[in-house]
Structure 1
Amino acid sequence: MLYRSISTILLCFTVPSAALSEVEVSLYLGNQSAPPSDINVTGDSAIPELSFEQKWEGQSFNWPIYAGFRVTNWRTPDYGYGLDYAHNKVRPPNGELPAGFSALEFTDGLNTWTINGYRRWQNAVGDATPYVGAGLGISAPGVEVRYQGSDTFEYQITGVAATWLAGVTYPVNDEWSVFGEYKGTFTSNDVDLDGGGSLTSDIFTNALNVGVSFSF
């Protein structure tokens, strides 16, 4: 149901109409990291009540790699909106797990789907076009939490997500361009555990991205 709804939204962004001046499809990858976050576990039949700070690393280039795509509808030369998906990742550094856990990670995606608004300044520095953007949406991670008798391994919609970004794009020709950017995300995650409890954590990520865009 989630992916069917997303496909419908994506189709709306990619079907041109007379009102649209430009549709831009972008793919990107980069180096993504995450600062520590607080984790709380409550109400589970197997995992005791826990509250601790967890360090994270992104492992951007380990499979599945950190990557994303976006579709932007530029309604005017300077302002646009669109759908953005990012396959963020977090796991404990060097495989160091809290006592009792055999897995605690979101590496099959701390996935975010957001609707973003954008502002750009075309050809502000020669042919280069700076831009900024921000948006809100959902966090839909691949959850992997294993603790003795409790085994949670599934995709869930866990809460709200927000993103913000700033970058510069440079044209290759009339249709293709390349870009570099900083992109941050925030996710508020309330995970349903196999033992009936919940694990909550608000996680930030930071990424330096490079990408390619096709406009039509």
Structure 2
Amino acid sequence: MYRLFATATALAPLLALSTPAAAEMELSLYSGVQTSPHSRISGDYPGTGAEIDALIGWEGRSTDAPPYYGVRGTWWRSERLGFGIEFTHTKVYAPDDEKEDAGFEDLEFTDGLNILTANAMYRWPDQWGSVTPYVGGGLGISLPHVDVDTTTGFDTYELQVGGPAMRLTAGASYDLTERLAVFGEYQFTASDNEVELEGDGKIESTIITNAVNIGLSLKF
């Protein structure tokens, strides 16, 4: 993933320069239902250095506070091609029985397994009347807020840089007015997360999320 990120970063300025400018910015806000499949956690247990190795069936709990949401800004350089940035406040909780078996009282990223990416987007304007399908992808970083408490008294509660991340998006928008549109989309994210724990511990895990989003876009 590091090699892919480096290659995309090098190519992005060339793509931008090769595309004619267009005067359209778009700001999109969304929420929806976000889930996460199982992933394995590994690392060192705080205070003891014992090996951590457990399969966690993460829960998304999209509507629990703080809720799942995202914001995306896109600069459409032409009628079809755009570039931008996107922040998604995803989150994951370890089920009670699984976190207890792994030796934790809390094991979650719930003030965010936050994903920040630089995106490339492609659309087909008014492909079906006022409906515009689009696809996109992005590369960036994860910014997990670590909320981990051990059964031995070591607590970690802080924002960290987790590692490289990516996203893929496919959806369609419907114009309500010239400036306002509604949209629905599927979004996939994957992130490598290596976080430090109080007591000289650490956890590593590659976490995937799947989401169905509904949102509003403002064009200006």
Structure 2 length normalisation: TM-score? 0.87
The 3-state SS of whatever aligns with 1:174 is coil
Give the superposition deviation at 1:195: 1.2
Q: CA RMSD in A?
A: 1.5
Whole-angstrom CA distance in 2 between matches of 1:139 and 1:102 = 24
Distance 1:38 1:161, change over 3 A: same
Equivalent of 2:27 in 22, 25, 28: 25
The one-letter code sitting in structure 2 at the alignment partner of 1:72 is T
| Counterpart-to-counterpart distance in 2, 1:170 and 1:209 | 14
Kindly provide the amino acid, as one letter, of the partner of residue 75 in structure 2: N
The C-alpha deviation readout for 1:37-91, integer Å capped at 9, x for no partner, is 0000227424621111011110000110000101000000000010100000100
Identity across matched positions, percent: 44
The alignment of Structure 1 onto Structure 2 pairs a total of residues equal to 199
Aligned residue in 2 for 1:38: 40
- Per the alignment, residue 12 of structure 1 pairs with none
Q: Deviations over 1:169-191 (max 9, x none)?
A: 00000100000000010010000
* Pair 1:61-2:63 in alignment: yes
Instruction: Determine the C-alpha separation between the residues in 2 that align with 1:51 and 1:156.
Output: 21
Q: 1:168 aligns with which of 172, 178, 183?
A: 172
Higher mean alpha-carbon deviation, 88-97 vs 32-41, is at 88-97
| In 1, Cα distance between equivalents of 2:174 and 2:134 | 11
Confirm whether residue 182 of structure 1 aligns to residue 186 of structure 2.
yes
Distance in structure 2 (CA, Å) of the matches to 1:20 and 1:124: 19
Which segments of 5 or more consecutive residues in structure 1 lack a partner in the other structure? 1-17
CA contact (8 A) 1:46 1:149 kept: no
Q: For 2:172, what is the secondary structure of its paired residue?
A: strand
**Partners of 2:124 and 2:166 in 1: CA distance:** 23
Checking the alignment, whether the CA contact within 8 Å between 1:46 and 1:150 is kept in structure 2 is: no
